[in-house]
Amino acid sequence: MTKTSALSFFLAIAGYSANAFAPSYPTSPISSRTFSSTRLEAKKKIFIDGEAGTTGLQVRDRLAKREDLEILSISEELRKDVEERKRLINEADCVILCLPDEASKEAAAMVENDRTVVIDASTAFRVDDDWTYGFPELSKSQKDEIQSSKRISNPGCYPTGFIALLRPLVDAGIVPVDAPLTVNAISGYSGGGNALIGIYEDEEVENEPWGAYGYSMNHKHLPEMSKYTGLNTKPIFQPKVATFAQGMVVSVPIHYSLLKEGSTGKGVHDALSQYYDGSKFVKVMPLGESGAKEAGLLERGAFLRPDTLANTNNLELFVFHNDEEGRMVLSARLDNLGKGASGAAVQNLNLSLGLDEASGL
């Protein structure tokens, strides 16, 4: 496998547009002199605290070319300077925290005004009731809640796929709240941050082709996976990484005996389709293996590739079912660094600042 770097560090910052004033002169001796001017909206100021990390680099990449935003940058030698960070945090209209949990808590506490929007990409605030969960498609009201919030917790990558699949089915009563579920998921190695990227992209370092983890049965994603699906029972979560940079497939196998009596693959598919009808980024794909094959969604007619949506904010949901056997597998495909991280952060930024939801995406 040829290894290519999945990440680029873009330092281009969108330039200013100058104000243009166009005076209007009188057309007759008796008319009073009037002036008209074109008012340009002030650019929203954005500070990415932790912009040198995996998610921070991707967020900056997505924002750098936008003309409606001004990126506030901190010099490399001042990245750990508390006073300089605090100054930039309070100058910004929106701060995106791309930091470890404890560092995010410290940074959030630096806000000294009621104006700055904080979007946190760590797990620090994901189940905190004082913060708004940043999955706009979670419910009909979630987008409005994000638009009016000053504190937004960005979802985790694996939970994004799991919650997208299960929340509609729990709400519809198809999946009971006490259903014992299993989540099998695989992600590109970029999900492990710079350290794991360094291992997989170093030609001189031997690495495993595939690795499973989370054997403590107490993964940090489990609280949000339960809370935002409405499930009372935490699922068994089996995450894995492999030798591709970006992308993810999250799968939930289900026996029909766990579902509402009379449930079918089409019924589950219809429930998901209705829930996400009109969504810009979440799409329910054609039903079953046959539907996926006909739509050309399976590699060589058989394989669901995890990297197909790399560098997008899209999320695809699949229902693979066998009604006669009474079994199905629900699968979500997304970019772990897109809809699972930086793309979601940009989407939340847009909503919270009253901008077009899809700008930069």
The residues annotated as belonging to the active site are 157
- φ and ψ of 163, to 5 deg: -65, -40
The bridge status of strand 315-322 relative to strand 282-284 is parallel
Cα 154 to the chain's mean position, in Å?
7
Measured in degrees and rounded to the nearest 5, phi and psi for residue 243 equal: -85, 50
Closest among 332, 325, 337, 173 to 246, alpha carbons compared = 337
| Antiparallel, parallel or unpaired: β 236-242 and 210-212 | antiparallel
Helix, strand or coil, per DSSP, at residue 183: strand
Q: Give the sheet arrangement for strand 182-188, strand by strand.
A: 210-212, 236-242, 182-188, 248-255, 327-334, 315-322, 282-284
Residue with tokens 């909206």: 41
- What are the phi and psi torsion angles at 63 (to 5°)? -100, -20
Under a CB-based contact definition with an 8 Å cutoff, are residues 318 and 308 in contact? Answer: no
What residues contact 163, with CB distance under 8 A and at least 6 apart? 135, 138, 155, 224, 225, 228, 229
Indicate the helix (H) or strand (E) that contains 254.
strand 248-255
The answer to whether residues 123 and 220 touch, using CB atoms and an 8 Å cutoff, is yes
Q: How many CB atoms lie within 10 A of CB 15?
A: 8
If you write DSSP's letter for every residue of 26-78 in order, what string do you get?
A: -SSTTSPPEEEEPPPPPPEEEEEETTTSHHHHHHHHHHTT-TTEEEE---GGG
Q: How far is CA 68 from CA 37, 44, 232, in A?
A: 20, 7, 43
Tokens of 180: 């014992």
